Amino acid sequence: MNPAEPLPILKYPDPRLLRVARPVAAVDARVRALTERMFATMYGAKGIGLAATQVDVHERVIVIDVSEERNQPLVLINPVLEWASPETRKGDEGCLSVPGVYDGVERALAVRVRALDAQGHSRLIEAEGLLAVCIQHEMDHLMGKVFVEYLSLLKRNRIKSKLLKAAREDERDSDGERSTERPGQRSAQPF
């Protein structure tokens, strides 16, 4: 069996990241193939979560795997947040769509989400810790929100300028053999 082909990940400040995802009408072979490609994309980019919005598919689909062994894939289709704990914690987040940028975001410590799985069965997921943070981060993407929107306007503008400059440099150097790794950039992005 051939592995699923990865998809290109949209980079902030691409305006397509701001689109609100529409519900999936039916969990069928097309949606299952999308989730396989999303997992291939997420694992290939060393992420732990990916929303369909990030690969320019504007449907309510999320894939997650927060396990150390990368063997506990979780598919959330049409997720609905049913409950979030009043207790919150601020923790560093990163994003596959905002490479090399990490900053503190306040999130609920625990959540309860109802969603369909890859077979179309309804599931109730109760999550805490890293899984809860990842679910909240990816659900934000489905609403057209990138984690940097939780930061100050000054920080957002600096991030936007940095990423636009990096994109221009990558475009200019795409014919060369220069590495795209930037000094100080972390090689693994969590979400």
Identify whether 46 is part of a domain.
Answer: yes
Identify whether 99 is part of a domain.
Answer: yes
Could you read off the pLDDT of 126-171 as tens digits, one per residue? 999 999 999 999 999 999 999 999 999 999 999 999 999 988 988 8
What's the number of domains the chain is made of?
Answer: 1
Could you read off the pLDDT of 31-79 as tens digits, one per residue? 999 999 999 999 999 999 999 999 999 999 999 999 999 999 999 999 9
CA distance 191 to 181: 18
Identify whether 6 is part of a domain.
Answer: no
Is the bond preceding residue 13 a cis peptide, omega within 30 degrees?
A: yes
Q: Provide the pLDDT for residue 167.
A: 87
For the cut 60, the answer to whether the pLDDT of residue 187 exceeds it is no
Antiparallel, parallel or unpaired: β 98-108 and 74-84: unpaired
Count CB atoms within 10 A of the CB of residue 17.
21
**Residue positions annotated with a catalytic role:** 138
Alpha helices in the chain (DSSP H): 29-44, 129-142, 153-172
CA distance 186 to 4: 26
Q: Which residue positions form the known binding site?
A: 95, 137, 141
Handedness of CA 39, 45, 50, 52 (dihedral sign): negative
Choice between 83 and 4, residue whose per-residue pLDDT is larger = 83
Q: By the 8 A CB rule, do 101 and 148 touch? A: yes
Place of tokens 């290939």: 44
Identify whether 189 is part of a domain.
Answer: no
CA distance 34 to 40: 10
CATH of the domain at 37: 3.90.45.10
CA distance 148 to 160: 9
Identify whether 104 is part of a domain.
Answer: yes
Average of per-residue pLDDT values in the chain: 91
Identify whether 133 is part of a domain.
Answer: yes
Identify whether 187 is part of a domain.
Answer: no
Alpha helices in 94-152 (DSSP H): 129-142
Q: Which residue positions form the known binding site for Fe cation?
A: 95, 137, 141
CA distance 127 to 110: 6
Name the residue range of residue 40's domain: 15-172
The two structure tokens encoding residue 53: 């919005």
